[in-house]
Amino acid sequence: MNFLIDTSALVRVLRGQVSPHWGERSERGVIAICEPVVTETLTIAAATAYTQAEQRLTDLYPWVPVPDGAWTTVRDMRRALAARSAHQGISVADYLIAVTAIHHDLTLLHDDADFGTVAAIVPALRQERIS
């Protein structure tokens, strides 16, 4: 695995709004997924198709867990961002996704400018914008 996909990128991949090579990389298993991404993505799933949508995501993407102790790293990250007045656009899920990417040494694949801001302040976060 090379990447951890964020919800913003996942939605674009699923809608076919990005280069086809991202779909090919998904099929090769180099893009992982984690619980906060699945949870965010499934908020738009119809109740009647919820289980199938969840299964599709977990079948397509290798699973990586949010690390134990994530909240300590989230606290440190949000404090570093706040010290630079850069904390206001980051959601709780985004913090957990960033921490998971760092922990598993994966590049965070996204389409969310906030992750570029985080990476500028938290050098351990490698990120790539999908668009």
- Residue at token pair 């990128």: 9
5 has a pLDDT exceeding 90: yes
Helical packing angle, 113-121 and 92-103, nearest 10°: 60
Rounded to an integer, the average pLDDT of 105-125 is: 96
Rounded to an integer, the average pLDDT of 94-120 is: 96
Model pTM? 0.94
Pairing of strands 31-32, 127-129: unpaired
Rounded to an integer, the average pLDDT of 26-51 is: 94
Residue-level pLDDT at 26? 87
Domain extents in the chain: 3-129
- ∠ CA 81-116-5, nearest 5°, is 110
- ∠ CA 60-55-47, nearest 5°, is 135
pLDDT in tens, 65-104: 999 999 999 999 999 999 999 999 899 999 999 999 999 9
What phi and psi values does residue 107 have, to the nearest 5 degrees?
-80, 130
Residue-level pLDDT at 18? 94
Domain 3-129 of CATH type 3.40.50.1010:
yes
Is residue 30 within 8 Å of 5, Cβ to Cβ? no
